[in-house]
Chain A
């Protein structure tokens, strides 16, 4: 028995029926009907930290740019100097506006010398796609023609290698390749949004189900958007529309590494970013840990030690790994150092908190073998 059709304005994922069959709680997000959780957010979160979880992120915008002129065209609309990305590499970048604010954060993949893929947030997919096609008319939006699965966790590479039939361990972090599997091309990138090792896989929509089924069969746990949020916040990764937006500067957000000013090529927002780069930012996006048990949430008020309100949280959640409340906020520079005592107003209570170093969670390094 199939479900009723989606409401007129919501897109459905190609793998929608599988999520529903697995008991996913579906919810609207960025114009798509998305799996929020399957059985337990905490279980899905821990599966990614301890084993391997899988997110259907097909809702994100995907645009390909092929041809020798693509590199320069792309450089002109994004902050990172993509011409320095070697074939087989990928890099985080930003779409800024003329004022130097962040219209979106994106990932740029150089699959081959003249073959590029840009992945943008679902909420900004239409604008991002238009931006790229304006800069490079031959760009193709492949969002609805493809499925994107993020397989994340310490066992992700192992389980994905088992399914794809080849060892992927040699693919270095932030590297990408096109891989042939069952007659289709799968773009693989050792990237993610969880703070764990793993790969993002992009393949034709009609083959997405086969890959999903094979990975679930191999023991990869389906995970939804709720776990995706707790994971990325533990890793202190910003969420556009919350921690970064058109009014925030990359330098305030600690994203200066995504802005290249060494070359001379023009790009959208360059002048404003050069000016912003010249002055230390007056406020900085800081990681805040709650010191009593309480759940901080976006928009809750942040106060300094003397009880003066200074800002509001941009993000907040209960960290399953740390078993503590965590959040982020733009603090005036003098308050943004680790150890600064603060309070967060959780409903009618002032709860003690402090600035901590980012990230909240860092995956443990593999132990060196004993000599």
Chain B
């Protein structure tokens, strides 16, 4: 189970990367996706439904869906902000999420509307412990 140290995580298996060495203040940009654990649980991903550019996200609220042959899973927003960019390549090649969940399999670039609430997110160490522990 791959859990990069520099990212932040949710207990619903999304990850957040703060861009450009910023600190997560309002106006900073983040990239979000789903974790290696999530893609493994889902199996072969065949469809990802993402919001359009300009959509507002609210932390904790579902913003899209990821589907495998047998399962449909909601995507929960890890942050509050506005969608700046969507990974359009996932429309034709959703399998990138399985192959490279932290790289080519990214979902959205988001401009934070409020500072990151770190109390609502997990560090890599905490997420690792959560998942290895079989947390649900």
Contact of A36 among B70, B72, B91, B95 (CB under 8 A): B70
Residue A230 at the chain B interface, CB threshold 8 Å = yes
Asked if A41 and B91 sit within 8 Å, CB to CB, the answer is no
CB of B73 to closest CB in A, whole Å: 12
- Measured in the bound complex, the distance between the Cα atoms of B92 and A40 in whole Å is 19
Asked if A318 and B69 sit within 8 Å, CB to CB, the answer is yes
8 Å CB interface, A196-243 against B: 226, 229-230
8 Å CB interface, B40-79 against A: 43-44, 46-47, 49, 65, 67-70, 72
Asked if B65 and A347 sit within 8 Å, CB to CB, the answer is yes
Chain A residues positioned under 8 Å from B43 (CB to CB): 37, 40-41, 226
- Measured in the bound complex, the distance between the Cα atoms of B68 and A27 in whole Å is 16
CB of A270 to closest CB in B, whole Å: 39
Residue A293 at the chain B interface, CB threshold 8 Å = yes
With A317-B69, A318-B69, A347-B65: A40-B91 Cβ-Cβ less than 8 Å: no
The interface bits of chain B over 24-44 (1 if a CB of A lies within 8 angstroms of the residue's CB, else 0) are 000000000000000000011
Q: For A43, A295, A317, A320, which residue has the most chain B Cβ atoms within 10 angstroms?
A: A295
- Measured in the bound complex, the distance between the Cα atoms of B72 and A80 in whole Å is 40
Chain B residues positioned under 8 Å from A36 (CB to CB): 70
CB of A249 to closest CB in B, whole Å: 30
In this complex, the interface size class of chain B, counting residues with CB under 8 Å from chain A, is 10 to 19
Our count of residue pairs bridging A and B at CB distance below 8 angstroms stands at 37
The interface bits of chain A over 8-52 (1 if a CB of B lies within 8 angstroms of the residue's CB, else 0) are 000000000000000000000000000011001111000000000
With A41-B70, A230-B69, A347-B65: A295-B44 Cβ-Cβ less than 8 Å: no
Chain A residues positioned under 8 Å from B69 (CB to CB): 41-42, 226, 229-230, 317-318, 320
Chain A residues positioned under 8 Å from B44 (CB to CB): 40-43
CB of B98 to closest CB in A, whole Å: 8
CB of B75 to closest CB in A, whole Å: 13
Asked if B65 and A318 sit within 8 Å, CB to CB, the answer is no
- Measured in the bound complex, the distance between the Cα atoms of B95 and A49 in whole Å is 19
Residue A85 at the chain B interface, CB threshold 8 Å = no
Residue A149 at the chain B interface, CB threshold 8 Å = no
Chain B residues positioned under 8 Å from A347 (CB to CB): 49, 65
CB of B51 to closest CB in A, whole Å: 13
Asked if B70 and A295 sit within 8 Å, CB to CB, the answer is no
Instruction: Please name the residue on chain B nearest to A225 by beta carbon.
Output: B70
- Measured in the bound complex, the distance between the Cα atoms of B49 and A295 in whole Å is 10
- Measured in the bound complex, the distance between the Cα atoms of B69 and A42 in whole Å is 9
Instruction: Please name the residue on chain A nearest to B65 by beta carbon.
Output: A347
Instruction: Please name the residue on chain B nearest to A294 by beta carbon.
Output: B47
CB of B54 to closest CB in A, whole Å: 18
Q: For B44, B67, B91, B92, which residue has the most chain A Cβ atoms within 10 angstroms?
A: B44
Chain A residues positioned under 8 Å from B49 (CB to CB): 347
